[in-house]
Structure 1
Amino acid sequence: MENKTGKNSRRNFLKKVGLGGLSMAGLTLAPIEDQVAYASQHVNRNSNPSELEITDMRVTRVLRTPIIRIYTNQGIVGHGDVRDIGDYRYALMLKSRILGLNPCNVEKIFKIIKQFGHHGRQGGGVSGVETALWDLAGKAYGVPVYQMLGGKYRDKVRIYCDTTMSSDPQEYAMRMQERVDRGYTALKMDIGISLLEDVEGALVNTEHWENKPGGLSGWNSIPGSYANTEHPFTRVQVTEKGIDRLMEYLDVMRSQIGYEIPMGTDHWGHFGVNEAIKLARAAEPYNLAYMEDLIPWQYTDQWREITEASTTPTLTGEDIYMLEGGFKELIDKQAVNIVHPDPVGAGGLLETKKIGDYAQQKGIPMQMHHASSPVSFLGCVHAAAATENFLWLEHHFVDTPWYDDLVTGIEKPIVQNGYVKVPEKPGLGVELNEEVIKEHMDQELGFFEPTPEWDEQRSWDRLWS
C-alpha cells in the first residue's frame, strides 16, 4: 500500500544510492518496492507511449531548410527537416492527416502519408514528418533512434564534406587542403563544364543556351532554360581541349592532397551519355571515389552504359523518393556503383535503411547526401549507424560557423576528426537552440507560429475504389 511514510522511505533510499551510500549488492537485499523504484527512477513519467497523441504541427526555417515541430498531448515534441530549398507546405499539408494519431506508430503513419511524397524536394514533407515521429517515439520510450531501426553497426559515422568551386585550380586545391587540415578523411569537389565557359574551343553548342534566359547557369527556375533541360537534351559537347582543362583541376587536387583521401566530384553539367563516358575515362588516372549525377537518375539504362564504360565509380540518388518506384530499378540493373539517398527526401530514416539494405543484397554500398539543418543531420547519423553497407555522410555547411549552435544536447563540435559520434540520448539526441534559431531564421515565416489553417482535411485520399 502506498502511503506518505512509504514515499519518504523510498525517496531516502534513492538518495542514499545516488550518494553512493548503498552498494549494488545491498540493493538485492532491499524490499522489492525499493528495487522497482531504483530501476525505474530515470523513466520519463510524463510519457505514456500507448496514450500519446499528435496535437499540432508547426514550422520555422533556417539555412534554407524548413524545420517542423510535432506536438503531443504529453508535452514531448519531435523535430524533422523538410529537405533544403524545399517548400514547408509539403509537410504542413500532412498535418490534418496525422492529428490525433499515436506518433509511436511510425510505419502506420508513414503508410498514410507516403502517397503525398515524390522525387526531388517533393519528398521532403513525408521525410520530415517521418523523422520527427522517430524523434518522438525515441523520447517516449527513452531510447535513441538507431536502436529502433535495429541497432547500430558503428559508434561513429564517417563524414565527407563539400568544397565550393574556384576557377583557379591552385586556390581550389588549397580549399581542399583546409578540409584535410580540419580532420576530414573524405572529400567532394564541385567541378564541371561551367569552368570552361571562358575557354575558347572547350565546348560545343553553348551559344544556343547563352542566348536564352538564364544562360549557362545550372540553378534557376526559368522554364526551358539550360538549368531546366535534362542532360541528354542540351546537346552540349566537351572537346578534347575542354577535357584536358578539367583534368588539370583533378591533377592539381591530387598533387596537393595525395591519393590516400577519397575524393568525389559533383556538378559536372548538363550533357549526354557520350560526354559522360569521355569524362569518366579521362578521370581514371586520378582514382576518383565517384562521379556524381552525371545524368538524371531516371535514365537507368544510360547510367548502366556509363558505369560499364569506365573504371571511375558512378553515384546518384539524392533526388530519388523511396525504394519502390525509385532506387529499386537502379539497384536491380546494377546501373551505378554507389547509391546516394538523401534521408530528408528519400522517405525518412527507415526508408533510407531499407534502400541501403536492398543495395547491400545486390553488392552495392551506400553514401548519404545531406544539405539541411543539424536536426536531420543527426537523423542521418542514426540511419547510417543502423545500416551495414554505409560509407560516408555529407556535411554541406562546413563553412557556417554557427551551424553546430543550432542544436543543444550534443558534444561540440558535432564533427570531430572527420567523424560524428552516434548520439545515445533518446530520440535524435538533440534539441533546438531556440535563441540561435531565432537569430538566423526566416523572419517572414517566424518561429513555430500556429498553423490552424492546416487542421482540417479537405480531400478524399484513397487511391482505389
Structure 2
Amino acid sequence: MKITAVKTYLMQVGSRPTTTSASQGGAAQDGAGRDSAGLGADADFRGSRNWLFVKIFTDEGITGVGECSGWPRVIETAVKDYASILVGEEAGDIDRLWHRLYVASMGHGILGTVGGGALTGIEMALWDIKGKALGQPVWNLLGGRFRDRIRVYGHAKTPERARDLMARGYTGVKVGFTGAVDIDCVAAVREAVGPDVDVMVDAHGPSWMTPQDAIIVGRAMEPLDLLFYEDPVAPESLDALARVRDAVDIPLAAGERVSTIWGIRPYIERDLVDVIQPDTGRAGGITQMRKMAAMAEGHFITMAPHSGSLGPVAEFAALHVMATIPNALMLERVEFDWPGRYEVVEPVLKVVDGHLPVPTAPGLGVDIVEEEVARYPSRRNVADMPPEDGWAYETGTVSENVYFQTRLKRRAKLRRTDG
C-alpha cells in the first residue's frame, strides 16, 4: 500500500485578531471557564491558537488522519516539505519512514517543536492507516490494553469551577497559572474539592519564576497535598529543576515542551520528575511516546500527557497510548475551551465518571469534518505580550519583555490578594 499524497488542514480556534469570539459561533473559554465574547480581539488573542490536522492518502483508498502541535502555521510548511519524501513509500513501514524523515531533517539542526510536531502528525496518520487496513484499533497493534478507559483531569481557577468539574464526574483538577502562582487560589480549590479529588498546580511562564521563587512557592504548597507541581522553572535549565527537586516535598512534572526520546531522556535519567508530560501532538509520534513511557517505567516514573493546546484528533491518539502502557497516570483534558471542538471531528468523546473510553474502531477511531475545519481559516499563530493588568508579569514590567523574573512581595507568599 503506497502513499499517494499528504494534505494539511490548518484552522484557527477561539478568539481571533480583528474579530470578536461572538462572531465565531460562540464564546471562547479559557481553562477557568471565563468567556471572552465581546472583548477586543487583539487584546484577547492569547486565548486563541491553531490546530493542524494531516491526512495521508494511499493507492488502496485508505486514508489516515493525524494532528501536529507546537507551532502549527510553521509546522504545516514542514509537513509539506516531508511529503516529497513520503509519496511513493510503503505506508506500513511506520518506524522506518519516521527515521527517514528524522535523518532527512538533521542537516537543519535539532528538530525541536516544529520538526517534532511534523513527525508526530505524519506518524499518527500512518498508524491510523495501518489500523484501518488490518481492521484493528491502534492500541491492539501496540500490544493490547491494560485498561479500557482513561482517567482525565480538568482545569479550574475558582472553587466554583472545581465543583462544576466534580459534578461532571472529574476526580482530578489542575490549577494553572502564567507567571505568579496564587497560593490562596490553590488552597481555595483544595478546600472546595475535599480530600478525595487530586489537585495539581501548573506554574509555567512567561514570566518564569527563578529557581528560588519556585522553591518558596513549592514549600508553601506542601500542606495542600498536591498530586504534582508542574513546570516550576523554565525548561532551558535542568539544573534549576534539580534544585527545586531537592528542596520541595511535592512530586514534580514536566516535559511538554520537548520532543523525541532524546528530549525527554535527561528528565528521566536524572530522576528530575515523578511525571513526564509529553505533548501528544509534538512528542514525535505514538511510537516515540510509548518509548518514552518505557524509559520512564524503568525509573518508576508515570506519564500524564499534555494536551492544553491540542485539538481532538491528538486526544484520540493519547487514549490509544495510555491504554497500552503500565505507567499511565491520567490525561489532561481541555473540554470547554471552544464550542467548535465538537464540530470539527466525529465521533465526539464524552467524559463518563471522570474517564474517557478507549476507542474500539479500526485505526484511531476518529476523522475530521473537513467542511467545518474550513470554516475557521488560520490568521495568526503567535500571541504577543499579555495585557499590562494581567498576572503573568510583575506590575508595570510587561513592556520589558523579559523571560523570567524574581517575584516581589514575598511576605504575602506571592499571593494575588496582597494588593
One fold, TM greater than 0.5? yes
Return the TM-score normalized by structure 2. Answer: 0.75
**Cα distance per residue 1:426-453 (max 9 Å; x no partner):** 10011222343333454899xxxxxxxx
Counterpart in 1 of 2:153?
Answer: 160
The number of equivalent residue pairs is 334
SS of the aligned residue for 1:188 comes to strand
1:161 positional shift: 1.9
From the superposition, tell whether residues 441 and 395 of structure 1 become closer, same or farther in structure 2 (CA, over 3 Å): farther
1:296 positional shift: 2.7
1:70 aligns with 2:6: no
Counterpart in 1 of 2:98?
Answer: 110
Which of 266, 274, 281 in structure 1 is aligned with 2:202? 266
> Which structure has the larger Rg over C-alpha atoms?
1
Counterpart in 1 of 2:78?
Answer: 90
1:301 aligns with 2:239: yes
CA distance in 2 between counterparts of 1:105 and 1:433 reads: 27
**Cα distance per residue 1:330-352 (max 9 Å; x no partner):** 11111112111112111111110
Aligned pairs for 1:156-305 within 5 A:
156-163=149-156, 172-191=158-177, 193-194=179-180, 246-269=182-205, 270-305=208-243
Which of 225, 250, 269 in structure 2 is aligned with 1:332? 269
Q: Give the letter aligned to residue 292 of structure 1.
A: E
SS of the aligned residue for 1:152 comes to coil
1:84 positional shift: 5.0
Counterpart in 2 of 1:379?
Answer: 317
SS of the aligned residue for 1:323 comes to helix
CA distance in 2 between counterparts of 1:415 and 1:119 reads: 32
1:292 positional shift: 1.2
1:355 aligns with 2:292: yes
CA distance in 2 between counterparts of 1:193 and 1:298 reads: 16
CA distance in 1 between counterparts of 2:56 and 2:224 reads: 47
Counterpart in 1 of 2:405?
Answer: none
Please tell me whether the aligned partners of residues 66 and 82 of structure 1 are also in contact (alpha carbons under 8 angstroms): yes
**Cα distance per residue 1:96-148 (max 9 Å; x no partner):** 11110111110110111124372334411011101000001111111111111
Return the TM-score normalized by structure 1. Answer: 0.68
Which of 44, 51, 57 in structure 1 is aligned with 2:6? 57
CA distance in 1 between counterparts of 2:154 and 2:115 reads: 25
CA distance in 1 between counterparts of 2:213 and 2:244 reads: 10
Aligned pairs for 1:128-147 within 5 A:
128-147=121-140
Q: Does 1 or 2 have the higher relative contact order (CA < 8 Å, sep 6+)?
A: 2
Please tell me whether the aligned partners of residues 92 and 125 of structure 1 are also in contact (alpha carbons under 8 angstroms): no
1:425 positional shift: 1.0
Please tell me whether the aligned partners of residues 288 and 312 of structure 1 are also in contact (alpha carbons under 8 angstroms): yes
From the superposition, tell whether residues 415 and 84 of structure 1 become closer, same or farther in structure 2 (CA, over 3 Å): farther
- What stretches of structure 1 move > 6 A for 4+ residues in a row? none
Which of 224, 227, 252 in structure 2 is aligned with 1:314? 252
Counterpart in 1 of 2:357?
Answer: 421
From the superposition, tell whether residues 109 and 127 of structure 1 become closer, same or farther in structure 2 (CA, over 3 Å): same
Structure 1 unaligned runs (5+)? Answer: 1-51, 166-171, 196-245, 446-465
Which of 434, 446, 450 in structure 1 is aligned with 2:370? 434
1:149 positional shift: 1.5
CA distance in 2 between counterparts of 1:419 and 1:126 reads: 28
CA distance in 1 between counterparts of 2:164 and 2:113 reads: 31
CA distance in 2 between counterparts of 1:358 and 1:382 reads: 18
CA distance in 2 between counterparts of 1:439 and 1:419 reads: 31
CA distance in 2 between counterparts of 1:183 and 1:84 reads: 30
**Cα distance per residue 1:196-233 (max 9 Å; x no partner):** xxxxxxxxxxxxxxxxxxxxxxxxxxxxxxxxxxxxxx
From the superposition, tell whether residues 247 and 352 of structure 1 become closer, same or farther in structure 2 (CA, over 3 Å): same
**Aligned-residue CA RMSD (Å):** 2.0
